[in-house]
């Protein structure tokens, strides 16, 4: 089950579970659409994988399986991953 992390790892923008702005890679690194489209150019700076829209968990299921509250932020900031 996805953690549904609450923020962008680059800019710390809030990304609530219902956000259509959240993007994730296969490791669930989480970024906002603005950072993905601008700074990261669609590539995860951690693993090099692609970033896609995060699914939205239905509200009724959030009560049983709540989203994560643990914030992850890259202290060094975000830069595209070197090839």
Q: Which of 32, 17, 42, 18 is nearest to 74 (CA)?
A: 32
- Sheet of 30-32: strand order equals 30-32, 22-24, 52-53
Q: Tens of pLDDT along 34-68?
A: 999 999 999 999 999 999 999 999 999 999 999 99
Beta strands in 1-83 (DSSP E): 22-24, 30-32, 52-53
User: What's the pTM?
Assistant: 0.90
Contact 64, 45 (CB under 8 A): no
The answer on pLDDT for 80 being more than 80 is no
Mean of per-residue pLDDT scores for the chain: 94
Going by pLDDT thresholds of 50, 70 and 90, the confidence category of residue 15 is: very high
Q: Which of 78, 65, 33 is nearest to 51 (CA)?
A: 33
The distance from CA 48 to its chain's CA centroid, rounded to whole angstroms, is 14
pLDDT: is 8 or 75 the higher one? Answer: 8
pLDDT at 41: 95
């Amino acid at each position: 089950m996805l953690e549904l992390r609450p923020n962008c790892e680059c800019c710390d923008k809030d990304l609530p579970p219902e956000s259509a702005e959240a993007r994730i890679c296969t490791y669930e690194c989480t970024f906002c659409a603005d950072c993905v489209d601008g700074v990261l150019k669609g590539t995860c700076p951690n693993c090099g994988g692609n970033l896609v829209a995060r699914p939205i968990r239905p509200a009724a299921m959030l009560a049983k399986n709540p989203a994560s509250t643990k914030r992850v932020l890259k202290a060094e900031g975000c830069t595209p991953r070197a090839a």
